[in-house]
Amino acid sequence: MPKISESEILTILIFYHYSGYKCFEYYYKALVLNDLKTYFPTAPSYNYFIELIERVALPMAILAKLTCQQAEKKGIYYIDAKALPVCDMLRAKQHKVFAQTASKGKSSMGWFSALSST
């Protein structure tokens, strides 16, 4: 198993937010594993890195809390934009867990099931 320090994991996670990438998987595979290989020579595969993130959950939460306390709210928010296939839309009515909050829609990528926040 590749040895990567907690500070390196935090650095990769923080730099993601300044990188301009909207999908963490693409950021990690394209930038960290290729272009930043000299800075992170022991960077593990994407799947293993995702497992390692929980090691820095507490330091990341503390850092985020301290940063948010000092930050000015701008009203601009974004999330990871990678689609997650949940189920075939033909069988979507069988899933009762989110029956009240889920809706279906269509985008350029095809049909999707979405959760509304209201």
Q: Is pLDDT larger for residue 75 or for residue 37? A: 37
pLDDT digits (tens, 9 = 90+) for 63-74: 888 887 776 766
Same domain flag for 53 and 91: no
Q: How far apart are CA 36 and CA 57, in angstroms?
A: 23
CB–CB of 28/49 below 8 Å? Answer: yes
Domain that holds residue 105: 84-118
Tell me: do 65 and 10 sit in the same domain.
yes
Q: Is residue 58 part of a domain?
A: yes
Q: Are residues 46 and 91 in the same domain?
A: no
User: In this structure, are 65 and 88 located in the same domain?
Assistant: no
- How far apart are alpha carbons 4 and 67 in whole angstroms? 24
The tokens describing 97, both together, are 């867990």
88 and 63, same structural domain?
Answer: no
Residue 35 located in a structural domain: yes
Give the chain's domain count: 2
| pLDDT tens-digit map of 29-59 | 999 999 999 999 999 999 999 999 999 999 9
Task: Indicate the burial class of 66 (C-beta count within 10 angstroms; 0-12, 13-18, 19 or more).
Answer: exposed
Torsion sign across C-alpha atoms 92, 93, 99, 102: positive
